[in-house]
Amino acid sequence: MADRRRINGPPGGTRPPVFASVQQSSTGAADRARRQRQPAELRKIFLKTGLIPTASGSSYLEFEPSASLAAARSNPKSLIPPSSALKLACTVHGPKPLPRSAAFSPNLVLTTHVKYAPFAARKRKGHIRDASERDLGVHLETAIRGAIVAERWPKSGLDITITVIEAEDDRWWGDAPNSHDASWGMMNVLAGCITAASAAIADARIDCLDLVSGGVAALVADDESPSSTGAPRLMLDMDPAEHQSIVSACVVAYMPARDEITELWLKGDSSRAALEKDDERTGHEALVDGAVDAARGANTVLAEAVKESMERSIAQV
């Protein structure tokens, strides 16, 4: 009779697992995923609305990693993905009446909630939101609040919940642990959250001043940079896993029809001089302009997704 007071092991013998080295590939050298796109070329975006019928509005957004296909062809036997693809889902509930215990509000009360799935990042996330997830929620609330016509829904609340299914890596898997000290992957996550939230709000038929899209730009100073002066290069829609050194990055929430920025987040040291010889802009100006250009590119996909949502709702009437 088995002993029920303890957990019995397997009846047969087991062998310890053998893991492949993450520092070297089968060829003997680490194959970093290099950027295959032009500096101003954006990644492909998949955006679809209306996937969650129980919510007032919903959207799903996914970024295609630019270096995955080239890296898979160069080393097809490797089981380690060269870079991650940003995947997130957004739901909007409301406008709904506030609880009776809540204070009177003449405007719409906006609540944002950003949560990583436990398996979304390389470092496993817990069930309780940490400081980074709360910061993303605050930035998202600021970006969306500038676009919603809040005075049309007094004594009402709007809840925006975003679940990050797969997040951007802060560094390449073969880099040293202390490389890329700043969490550069959060910049791309925030830009995706802004675009997905705007699509979900439009799917919920909530009046807004304009569609809000997120864009990211970064100053990159890689060793293989072709610039002879060694100045950092401006990259739109950067992937942290594709670069060795990121000097600074900027993410904006941009409304193209009104030409307004509702949120600006700048991180890193961008106090260096001009990027090129014929460029008179400073690092801050180049970052903001590049992030706005990236947001305009994301807005084209956002507008098409909202158009498809309107056509689908009209066909159901």
Give a yes or no: residue 137 inside a domain: yes
What sign results for the dihedral spanned by CA atoms 120, 122, 127, 131? negative
**Percent of the chain residues topping a pLDDT of 70:** 75
Torsion of CA 276, 279, 280, 284, to 10 degrees: -70
**Percent of the chain residues topping a pLDDT of 90:** 46
What does DSSP assign to residue 148? B
Give a yes or no: residue 6 inside a domain: no
CATH assignment of the domain containing 217: 3.30.230.70
- Domain residues for the domain of 191 are 40-316
Residue in 20, 40, 39, 22 with CA at minimum distance from that of residue 31: 22
Confidence band (pLDDT; 50, 70, 90) for 225?
A: very low
Mean pLDDT across the stretch 127-148? 92
Mean pLDDT across the stretch 298-316? 92
Q: Is the per-residue pLDDT at 27 higher than 60?
A: no
Domain count, the chain: 1
Give a yes or no: residue 88 inside a domain: yes
Q: What are phi and psi of 310, to 5 degrees?
A: -65, -40
Other residues' Cβ atoms within 10 Å of the Cβ of residue 106: 9
CA distance 168 to 159: 25
Q: Is the per-residue pLDDT at 69 higher than 60?
A: no
* pLDDT score at 233: 86
Q: What is the mean pLDDT of the chain?
A: 82
Mean pLDDT across the stretch 85-104? 91
Give a yes or no: residue 26 inside a domain: no
CB 211 within 8 A of CB 196: no
Give a yes or no: residue 21 inside a domain: no
Give a yes or no: residue 12 inside a domain: no
* pLDDT score at 258: 92
- Kindly state the greatest CA–CA separation across the chain: 84
Confidence band (pLDDT; 50, 70, 90) for 200?
A: very high
CA distance 295 to 292: 5
* pLDDT score at 121: 83
Give a yes or no: residue 24 inside a domain: no
- Beta-strand runs (E) in the chain: 45-49, 57-63, 87-97, 109-116, 156-166, 213-220, 233-236, 246-255, 260-268
Q: Is the per-residue pLDDT at 279 higher than 90?
A: no
Q: Is the per-residue pLDDT at 300 higher than 50?
A: yes
Confidence band (pLDDT; 50, 70, 90) for 26?
A: very low
If DSSP codes are grouped into helix, strand and coil, which group holds residue 145? helix
Residues sharing a CB contact under 8 Å with residue 202, sequence separation 6 or more, in sequence order: 49, 57, 208, 211, 306, 309
Of 225 and 84, the structure prediction assigns the larger pLDDT to 84
* pLDDT score at 83: 62
Give a yes or no: residue 14 inside a domain: no
Mean pLDDT across the stretch 149-177? 83
